[in-house]
């Protein structure tokens, strides 16, 4: 009898336990979903969001690039709005108004409110303490101070660096001239030329355009900057160690090993009385801090502190400037009359017997206006790198909670019809005075962002864009290959915003 009674009791207990477990699972799911769908109080307005999926489906169904969709939503919901860009994640605040952006990025009062957001996949890939781009907090401020000082010492804005860029421009011209009017892909020689400027000021040497190490460096950077499965990697960083990321791991390892080897070579030949490049300057900076008791020490710690920052300069400094030069060529293929005006201005100011100089820039407003208009319509970075709030604060009448992502939509600001007359039209004249002899400065023109985390290499990029562009248009007229359509000018969004691949004929003038 006792055995007969125990069986029902056990079954009853098991059923009760199962019910409790089911209830606990249901409660957990309910809490998670509630957290995902519940909007924090007084958050900025935004488009309707689906539970868990947020606005992801709307972005995908639009068939447009993310920055374009966010700009359209900003015109509907305002210059500061909240959106859910990624499934199963909380909202982000998107800023598309220049006044609000400057308040966030320039104001000392706001300095404590936001900082660079951690990118989960990036943190999985490497230690970001030495990064100029991804670092946060006091270390990021220290790196920026060092970077600005190093660029000044390496000649940004001075004749010494101008000569270096013009020398590289000669190599670029020779490579393009060797094509002998045949159709070619301009991205390869332009990437090589721009990367060599960063190599020379960071590594102390340049690469030959046919050097296989340079090719692998640029190919690895290209794979590293592509977006796709990386979205999943940021949600589930452990995926980095799966076969899905095998190619990316291989590229990261090659980039790390290559730069670390160069850093170690610099350590072996380091002379504090002869600082050759930015690596030497960084070694000296770290050694000085070590003597003061705040350094990282020597050996692997020092190389790990340096390599990622140098890779930041190499990657960001190559992609941003080269993509703008490629956009420039794309636009003049569609608007050949613009190319003719640039060439006429170069002939009037520089002539054909010498290379252009930075001293020529003030006398060449039209060329500068064209470069500005290209950057306005197709900025190398459509967004700034992401930020995160470090405490709750009030912004434009809304409550921005701690720990929420902040996206600054540069593309929306520079294509805002309330600010720019017919922003979809390519019009260099918007940057010129009525007589065409002086440049007009627009406060909404911020292709390098603004504030304390604006582009570290802005001065270098401006020198490169002017000198490379004027050297190319002085000696070549760029034309479409016979029967080829004009470039679509739509663009591909990656780490930078790049034009679709195209081929071109460079006819010697």
Query: Do 256 and 126 touch, CB atoms closer than 8 A?
Result: yes
Phi-psi region of 181 (alpha: psi -120 to 50; beta: other; left: phi over 0): left
Structure tokens given for 374: 């290209």
For residues 389 and 401, the answer to whether their CB atoms sit within 8 Å is yes
Q: Is 485 helix (H, G, I), strand (E, B) or coil?
A: coil
Token pair of 153, please? 């010492």
- Classified as helix, coil or strand, 267 is helix
Q: How far is CA 166 from CA 48, 196, 328, 477, in A?
A: 53, 12, 19, 19
User: Do 317 and 198 form a contact (C-beta atoms < 8 A)?
Assistant: yes
Distance CA 470, CA 464 (A): 10
CA separation for the pair 449, 414 (Å, rounded): 11
**CA 54/CA 237 separation, integer angstroms:** 21
**Closest-CA residue to 472 (of 348, 323, 326, 361):** 326
Helix count and strand count (H, E) for the chain: 17, 11
* 358 assigned ligand-binding residue: no
Token representation of residue 12: 């009853």
CA distance 128 to 135: 6
Q: Which long-range contacts (CB under 8 A, 24 or more apart) does 73-81 make?
A: 73/46, 73/47, 74/409, 74/412, 75/416, 75/417, 76/47, 77/44, 77/45, 77/46, 77/47, 78/44, 78/45, 79/396, 80/44, 80/395, 80/396, 80/398, 81/44, 81/45, 81/46, 81/47
Burial of 412 (0-12, 13-18, 19+ CB in 10 A): buried
Residue 52, Ramachandran bin (φ over 0: left; ψ between -120 and 50: alpha; else beta)? left
Burial pattern 22-37, b for ≥16 Cβ within 10 A else e, equals eeeeeeeeeeeeeebe
Q: Helix H segments across 87-238? A: 98-106, 120-125, 137-153, 159-177, 187-202, 212-225, 230-235
Nearest 5°: the CA angle 204, 208, 211 is: 110
What is d(CA 255, CA 51) in angstroms, rounded to the nearest whole number? Answer: 40
Which residues define the annotated binding site? 455
Q: Annotated binding site for heme: which residue ranges?
A: 455
């Amino acid at each position: 009898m006792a055995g007969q009674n125990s069986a029902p009791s056990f079954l009853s207990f098991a059923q009760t336990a199962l019910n409790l477990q089911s209830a606990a699972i249901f409660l957990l799911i309910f809490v998670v979903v509630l957290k995902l769908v519940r909007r924090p109080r007084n958050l900025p307005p935004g488009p309707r969001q689906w539970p868990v999926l947020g606005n992801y489906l709307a972005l995908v169904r639009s068939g447009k690039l993310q920055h374009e969709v966010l700009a359209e939503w900003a015109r509907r919901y305002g210059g500061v709005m909240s959106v859910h860009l990624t499934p199963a994640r909380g909202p982000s605040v998107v800023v598309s108004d220049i006044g609000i952006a400057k308040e966030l990025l320039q104001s000392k009062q706001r300095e404590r409110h936001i900082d660079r957001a951690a990118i989960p996949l990036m943190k999985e890939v490497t230690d970001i303490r030495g990064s100029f781009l991804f670092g946060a907090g006091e270390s990021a401020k220290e790196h920026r101070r060092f970077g600005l000082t190093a660029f000044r010492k390496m000649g940004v804005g001075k004749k010494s660096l101008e000569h270096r860029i013009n020398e590289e421009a000669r190599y670029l011209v020779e490579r393009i001239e060797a094509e002998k009017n045949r159709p070619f892909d301009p991205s390869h020689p332009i990437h090589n030329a721009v990367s060599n400027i960063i190599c020379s000021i960071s590594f102390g040497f340049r690469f030959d355009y046919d050097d296989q190490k340079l090719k692998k460096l640029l190919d690895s950077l290209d794979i590293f900057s592509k977006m796709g499965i990386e979205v999943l990697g940021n949600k589930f960083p452990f995926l980095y160690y799966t076969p899905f990321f095998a190619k990316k791991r291989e590229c990261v390892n090659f980039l790390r090993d290559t730069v670390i080897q160069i850093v170690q070579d610099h350590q072996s030949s380091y002379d504090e009385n002869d600082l050759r490049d930015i690596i030497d300057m960084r070694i000296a900076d770290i050694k000085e801090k070590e003597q003061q008791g705040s350094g990282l020490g020597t050996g692997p710690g020092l190389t790990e502190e340096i390599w990622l920052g140098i890779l930041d300069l190499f990657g960001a400094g190559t992609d941003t400037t080269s993509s703008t030069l490629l956009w420039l060529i794309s636009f003049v293929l569609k608007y050949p009359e613009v190319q003719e005006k640039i060439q006429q201005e170069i002939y009037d100011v520089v002539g054909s017997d010498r290379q252009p100089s930075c001293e020529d820039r003030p006398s060449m407003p039209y060329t500068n206006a064209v470069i500005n208009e290209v950057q306005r319509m197709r900025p190398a970075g459509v967004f700034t790198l992401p930020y995160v709030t470090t405490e709750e604060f009030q912004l434009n009448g809304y409550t921005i909670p701690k720990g929420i992502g902040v996206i600054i939509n540069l593309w929306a600001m520079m294509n805002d019809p309330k600010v720019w007359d017919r922003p979809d039209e390519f019009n260099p004249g918007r940057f010129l005075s009525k007589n065409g002899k002086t440049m007009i400065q627009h406060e909404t023109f911020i292709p390098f962002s603004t504030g304390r985390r604006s582009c570290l290499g802005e001065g270098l990029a401006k020198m490169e864009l002017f000198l490379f562009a004027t050297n190319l248009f002085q000696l070549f007229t760029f034309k479409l290959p016979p029967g080829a359509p004009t470039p679509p000018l739509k663009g591909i969004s990656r780490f930078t915003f790049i034009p679709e691949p195209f081929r071109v004929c460079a006819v010697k003038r």
